[in-house]
Structure 1
Amino acid sequence: MWGRGAVLSEQCWLENEKKCAVVRKPKPGRKRQELLAVALGVKVGVRGALLWPPLKLFACSQISSLVRRAALTHNDNHFNYEKTHNFKVHTFRGPHWCEYCANFMWGLIAQGVRCSDCGLNVHKQCSKHVPNDCQPDLKRIKKVYCCDLTTLVKAHNTQRPMVVDICIREIEARGLKSEGLYRVSGFTEHIEDVKMAFDRDGEKADISANMYPDINIITGALKLYFRDLPIPVITYDTYPKFIEAAKISNADERLEAVHDVLLLLPPAHYETLRYLMIHLRKVTMNEKDNFMNAENLGIVFGPTLMRSPEDSTLTTLHDMRYQKLIVQILIENEDVLF
């Protein structure tokens, strides 16, 4: 009897286990809803509870930013921004072997191509298969200004161009309450001096108050850096998408569209823009003293950060109000979008 009872008990136990193991399929969107709630730090579970659309955008932005920042700071000592090689046809003196396929480079002239940023030598055909793993050599970077943004940060192994970091630190230390900050121009000759100092001395450039008492010289040098970039902070590829987003009449939909396009920026460009918007938000917080709000800064930085891929004066004039609006949105919603 004892053995039969044990068998029955075991059968009952197994049946209960099977019942407990039945997992109900979550309703469509339930998992996403819970993920958004976690990002917001709120509880869901009340029947019929829905997240307000702007809160959904905020939660999405928090998740996206966390993922992106985790990728950007995966290694504190090395920023793994992907960069394509800058190959140019090259004539090699003496025998040379391809550094990709290890085969000999035949011919007397133009035997292959060389990356002008890192010095990689490969066949022209092999250059099509080389991964985007260019690591620029500082010896090959002749300038700080007019240098591709990703190339510069890769060469210096930094998150952002050191010009941006150094200038913003100086401006926040002594210029946030300066009237007309970023709107008032400094002397062009002095701004050029700052540019030459960065090109010559790099991160050792002296832009202190002892050298340049007028903070407008530093703001001018920062704006000039952005204007001189061969590829703007808001890249040519994403420019049309930002303009289209700015044309959306519904504010919530427009904000969501801007957020989606931001994620298309190259990592170094995204991080630089994020850091700049945090700074410009601080500028607006001192509006009572400097008289610079988000709209005013949008007028200043719109054409500085965004340039149309079409070299047309008519297009530029037509897009100016949208450029201003995009920068204004980025500043006012910095905490949500980044």
Structure 2
Amino acid sequence: CLALQTYKLNGSSCTISESLHLHPCVSLTVYQLQQEAPRPKRITCPQEMESRPKYYGREFHGIIPREYADELLAGAEGAYLIRESQRQPGTHTLALRFGHQTLNYRLFYDGKHFVGEKRFESVHDLVTDALITLYIETKAAEYIAKMTTNPIYEHLGYTSLLKDKMVHRLSQGKGTLLWKPIKLLASCPQISSPLVRRSALKDTQEKQCSYEKIHNFKVHTFRGPHWCEYCANFMWGLIAQGVRCSDCGLNVHKQCSKLVPSDCQPDLRRIKKVFSCDLTTLVKAHNTTRPMVVDMCIQEIELRGMKSEGLYRVSGFSEHIEDVRLSFDRDGEKADISASAYADINIIAGALKLYLRDLPIPVITFDLYSKFIQAAKLPNAESRLEGIHESLLQLPPAHYETLRYLMAHLKRVTLFEKDNLMNSENLGIVFGPTLMQPPELNALTTLNDMRQQKLVVQLMIEHEDVLF
């Protein structure tokens, strides 16, 4: 039982319950209370109700006054019935006896039964869960209120394993991710801006940056007893007792999920695919600075496709691009995208664009989209670069590093313009809508912003050595 584990605190060994200044067995109190909660008692209607909805059973009593329902439930803790509203025919109320009083809840059905967020296969399960929650919140209200005040999250389980992993990675020289904000070459004579001067001073500086990631919590139903990995307390209820991070597997109470730090370490076993996976999630799962899709595709393109006419503009066969996507999703970094598998380099270029376009959060994130657009609208060339530079520094590290690597590649593509006919403006037209999308899917907004999208990418390519 997690609640009875021990850990080192200030050099001494103590139990979780001791750290909470509670009785040694109090961590099991909530579990015991769930076992003691009243059991549902269905009050059946003695006569057949023709108006009874097909998804209710004999607990449905039709249109009866609230007072009569109270009489039927009196004296039986956990008793329940369903009645139709007198004031609003067609709507239904769950009448439940708890704490020597009748509680009335508006009852809904949309394929499952619910009165709040949780949805149940049967009314019986709904009532069971309600009685557990009501009983625990009544008997242990003070205890529940204090559950998160002294969490064991940093002393046990997930965080300890996280620290061990990070120490191991650092010992291998891969744990620290270095991010150079600016690497300026004195190769931009037409611009002598504060950006250039400031960057020149930072030429030898390196900024350490950890790839922080918030947990991807989703409501989860646990089979069998489960304890919260943040506060170490029992997760009560019949279904949807808490939330689980779908990326790393952390299990916590819903209220505790709001207090958990942004230290998610995705587990590769939980990452089902490569395409359409959050960028930061993917790089953390693989312990890389950029998605391997970007690295592998760019390396293949630079190996055999830099002189290909219309590179990135000419489309490869969509079914072959889909094959590449399935190969990455299935085989990851072992995917074969060599010339022997796909002779047409436009297929690899198309797969790279598809990957970037399908990211749930674009490389230029939704929350920074407007800042890049506004920067591109500035009339002064120096101000435009300043605005784009300031926006770049606000990108999440994984997004920044992916964009930096891609722009350096596209800059090299333009060096072969005589052969591939792709200059920075043409590449801006191609990659503008691929790398940045407005937060709200609005066709008019997208159309109005196309010029700025193109210009942002064009400037990042042309001034890659200044901006990155």
| Structure 1 pair 224–128 and aligned structure 2 pair: CA distance change class (3 A) | same
Secondary structure at the counterpart of residue 219 of structure 2: strand
Structure whose alpha-carbon radius of gyration is higher:
2
Counterpart of 1:99 in structure 2 is 229
Counterpart of 1:70 in structure 2 is 207
Deviation at 1:53, TM superposition (A): 7.3
Contact 1:182–1:300 under 8 Å retained in 2 = yes
- The CA deviation string for residues 137-170 of structure 1, in whole angstroms up to 9 with x for no partner, is 0011001000000000000000000000000000
Counterpart of 2:195 in structure 1 is 57
Give the Cα separation in 2 of the matches to 1:315 and 1:53.
31
Work out whether 1:242 is the aligned partner of 2:372: yes
Work out whether 1:132 is the aligned partner of 2:282: no
Counterpart of 2:283 in structure 1 is 153
Give the Cα separation in 2 of the matches to 1:173 and 1:107.
58
Counterpart of 2:273 in structure 1 is 143
Deviation at 1:105, TM superposition (A): 1.1
Work out whether 1:230 is the aligned partner of 2:368: no
| Structure 1 pair 189–240 and aligned structure 2 pair: CA distance change class (3 A) | same
| Structure 1 pair 313–40 and aligned structure 2 pair: CA distance change class (3 A) | closer
Contact 1:62–1:336 under 8 Å retained in 2 = no
Higher helix residue share: 1
1:171-182 equivalent positions in 2, closer than 5 A: 171-182=301-312
Deviation at 1:111, TM superposition (A): 1.0
Deviation at 1:107, TM superposition (A): 1.4
Counterpart of 2:217 in structure 1 is 87
Give the Cα separation in 1 of the matches to 2:203 and 2:239.
49
Deviation at 1:267, TM superposition (A): 0.3
Counterpart of 1:273 in structure 2 is 403
Give the Cα separation in 1 of the matches to 2:365 and 2:449.
15
Counterpart AA for 1:120: L
Give the Cα separation in 2 of the matches to 1:184 and 1:65.
38
1:293-312 equivalent positions in 2, closer than 5 A: 293-312=423-442
Aligned alpha-carbon RMSD (Å): 1.8
Give the Cα separation in 2 of the matches to 1:129 and 1:65.
38
Counterpart AA for 2:194: K
Secondary structure at the counterpart of residue 244 of structure 2: strand
Give the Cα separation in 2 of the matches to 1:263 and 1:176.
29
Deviation at 1:56, TM superposition (A): 2.8
Work out whether 1:122 is the aligned partner of 2:247: no
Deviation at 1:70, TM superposition (A): 3.4
| Structure 1 pair 64–199 and aligned structure 2 pair: CA distance change class (3 A) | farther
Counterpart AA for 2:425: E
- The CA deviation string for residues 225-260 of structure 1, in whole angstroms up to 9 with x for no partner, is 001100000000000000000100000011101100
State the TM-score, normalized to the length of structure 1.
0.81
Contact 2:193–2:382 under 8 Å retained in 1 = no
Counterpart of 2:329 in structure 1 is 199
Provide structure 1 residue ranges, at least 5 long, that are not aligned to the other structure: 1-38, 43-51, 73-79
Contact 1:40–1:59 under 8 Å retained in 2 = no
State the TM-score, normalized to the length of structure 2.
0.59
- The CA deviation string for residues 190-237 of structure 1, in whole angstroms up to 9 with x for no partner, is 100100100000000000011111100000000000011000000000
| Structure 1 pair 56–202 and aligned structure 2 pair: CA distance change class (3 A) | same
| Structure 1 pair 257–66 and aligned structure 2 pair: CA distance change class (3 A) | farther
Secondary structure at the counterpart of residue 135 of structure 1: coil
Counterpart of 1:36 in structure 2 is none
Secondary structure at the counterpart of residue 243 of structure 2: strand
Counterpart of 1:113 in structure 2 is 243
| Structure 1 pair 66–261 and aligned structure 2 pair: CA distance change class (3 A) | farther
Counterpart of 2:421 in structure 1 is 291
Give the Cα separation in 2 of the matches to 1:288 and 1:41.
25
Q: Which runs of 4+ in 1 moved over 4 A?
A: 39-42, 62-67
Give the Cα separation in 1 of the matches to 2:228 and 2:348.
45
How many residue pairs end up in the alignment? Answer: 283
Secondary structure at the counterpart of residue 114 of structure 1: strand
Work out whether 1:332 is the aligned partner of 2:462: yes
Give the Cα separation in 1 of the matches to 2:289 and 2:252.
29
Secondary structure at the counterpart of residue 307 of structure 2: coil
Deviation at 1:121, TM superposition (A): 0.3
* Higher relative contact order, structure no. (Cα contacts within 8 Å, ≥ 6 residues apart): 1
| Structure 1 pair 55–193 and aligned structure 2 pair: CA distance change class (3 A) | same
Identity of aligned residues (%): 74
| Structure 1 pair 57–322 and aligned structure 2 pair: CA distance change class (3 A) | same
